[in-house]
A and B are shown apart, each in its own frame.
Chain A
């Protein structure tokens, strides 16, 4: 039987060599992770908008990056996020091109509870914006839609300790992972920036979640989207909108709120009525009473500037940019 020539792997038999090899392996692993962290920290961009599955680590990084710049912060939903559009086509990106020091913290299915939690986070980290722009979309006040009575997992992970028990009781928070999984996730996130921001890196490299194709739209597709029950403080959305406005007033931060543009041509059977207008008026009063400047853009856009009930086309976003620029004096 042929005898194999000695290999360097044979040296593994010696305990001292085995120990040093293990040390080398450990040191190299730590160095590679550290290098990845340095590269992520230095080279991962500040995105024009949050990714759909943005991570707590990225959110923290973005909030802290504002520092004391007294920026304008936008808290909106998919309309301000620019659903079906490239990241540089939404109104906030277009305002940034005009020289506005803007930060877009909008994301799909956002709601007043998320806006309030984000404000709490900023203030807890001593980041004080000059102006906060809140988008008020009537869809989020629908008590039947639980999607609007929760927090984004990344926001929940960071802001839950900052919210009162009463506030938390109103929300159905995303299910927490098992404690062991949570511990592992926390440990890995603290070791590796790449792990902590994996969702952001992935969606930056491979693109965000693709929207479904635009169907042939009819008004009845949105039946139930808008609940036209009279709004009052018992509504979860209204409660957190009040809390968000109060918090800003308390910290002397200017609040600009705008009613989300809505496609009245498409939805006329459902929303062109007295109750809808009464709800708009109620929200306007509620915010104005708390010192906010309120722009009622609800009926300000033609039907051809919408993809659907509320999402604006590129032309719609340009119109929104002009309106917001005027309001913000940019």
Chain B
């Protein structure tokens, strides 16, 4: 079953009705458990296709239960290595010899997201950080939560259990309205906006190949660079809106994944706003432990900032590598690692030279912050080239543009994104301020109603015209 799709909506609606039939927590949990298993089964045509996925889950559960009982560091490290190895093997990472892979097709839908959940449970079980003893039912329900199985968001177990069992999310009238609004907005982004942006991206990739003059090449090159991040954002944030809204009807509260990432004024801030649950996971389970371990090993205060730089690089290198199995993603990892570590180094250096107060004042300067925003977006757009293209495509792109063309593309991208994002930030600030002022205003309600009605009609029209399977979600592939 695709997410988002009308089938998924129908499935979720049935589950929501069943789950809300009784106020008893045991009933809700049973319905959700069965729904999660049923949802997984929709991807599989045979037991053999399902077996590797189930084996991975079973291994994760066994590991967590073992570590709940035995706090052996050696066992813990061994199990973590085995889980990571099993994940890489099932995901067919290219550094593993092909002869070792399973020769039959099997389902790997949402495996990356399941991996994060399993690893989190295993680590927390070892550290006694889980809020309760892990039962098989809660483990299965948590790891297979159908609302976020396909592409996240990556919710942590305590947060999941909070709304699954302890305190179900409210379903008052305004919550229902807000959830519906979220679903419609999400579907609109995925079904109507993202195909348009994708078409624009494909068009500009074709156009840059046939552009002749330097101005033409610069414009099309800049469009190639900038449209894809917008497409990715609309596509993934639309999916996230959709599943957050859907989960609300099951009285589950999923975490947010995006917070206006393109207004970030630095690459570190960007990762606090983009795919937030992923960066939070890496921060919690890689960055912080590694940072603390190195701090203990090198306790000098002079070395401390540099440790941060190095650990940032390592963490985000793995964030990049996680995205795919080929050498393109190794390079993406290097670029993401460089982005955050250089950003950190720059902050340290600026603070050393200007002092904390003056640096803060500089950051608040509108021209400086706008330029920072433009550079951050442009760097992300540049790094994204390794996300969506191939070495061959990149080679063709670089050789066609030439050094002068590439320079022009950089200048144009930074300039235009600086201006556009400054305007966007100003509009966003104005909206936030006025939304606070008229939080409960009737005209605002009518405006939102009008927008949602228009979005519903447009989404239905697009569905009618396309008459195609559910729209593609880029992050489904991971």
Contact = CB atoms under 8 A, between A and B. Distances in A.
A10 B449 contact: no
Contacts of B465: 194, 198, 201-202, 205
Residue picked from A21, A192, A195, A201, most chain B C-beta under 10 Å = A21
Contact of B453 (A6, A8, A9, A24): A24
Nearest to B170: A4
A24 B439 contact: no
A216 to B, nearest CB: 32
Interface stretch (B105-113, B131-139, B455-463): B455-463
A25 interface: yes
Given A7-B174, A21-B445, A202 B466 contact: yes
A29 B461 contact: no
B171 to A, nearest CB: 13
Contact of B442 (A11, A32, A205): A11
B173 A28 contact: no
A36 interface: yes
Interface in A1-41: 5-13, 17, 20-21, 24-26, 28-29, 32-33, 36
Interface string A190-207: 001011001001100100
Interface in B420-478: 438-442, 444-446, 448-450, 452-454, 456-458, 461, 464-467
B467 A12 contact: no
Nearest to A200: B465
Interface residues on chain A, size class: 20 to 34
A10 B465 CA distance: 36
Nearest to A53: B467
Nearest to A33: B457
Nearest to B195: A205
Contacts of A28: 449-450, 453-454, 457
Given A28-B453, A201-B465, A17 B442 contact: yes
Contact of A12 (B444, B445, B452, B461): B445
Contacts of B446: 20-21, 24
What DSSP secondary structure best describes chain A's contact surface? Answer: helix
A29 B453 contact: yes
A6 B439 contact: yes
Interface in B170-204: 173-174, 177-178
B452 A25 contact: yes
Contacts of A11: 440, 442, 445
A195 B457 contact: no
What DSSP secondary structure best describes chain B's contact surface? Answer: helix
A198 B173 CA distance: 36
Contacts of A202: 465-467
A192 B174 contact: no
B188 to A, nearest CB: 12
Given A194-B464, A198-B464, A198-B467, A7 B457 contact: no
A29 B457 contact: yes
Contacts of B174: 7, 9-10, 12
A21 B450 CA distance: 8
A289 B456 CA distance: 59
Interface of A: 5-13, 17, 20-21, 24-26, 28-29, 32-33, 36, 192, 194-195, 198, 201-202, 205
22 contacts: A7-B439, A8-B438, A8-B440, A8-B442, A8-B445, A9-B173, A9-B174, A11-B440, A11-B442, A11-B445, A12-B177, A13-B173, A24-B453, A25-B450, A26-B453, A28-B454, A29-B453, A192-B461, A194-B464, A194-B465, A195-B464, A198-B467
A-B CB proximity, top 10 nearest: A9-B174, A6-B440, A8-B445, A25-B453, A28-B453, A32-B457, A8-B444, A9-B177, A28-B450, A21-B449
Given A8-B438, A10-B440, A28-B453, 14 more contacts: A5-B439, A6-B439, A8-B440, A10-B174, A11-B440, A12-B174, A21-B449, A28-B450, A28-B457, A29-B454, A194-B464, A194-B465, A202-B465, A202-B466
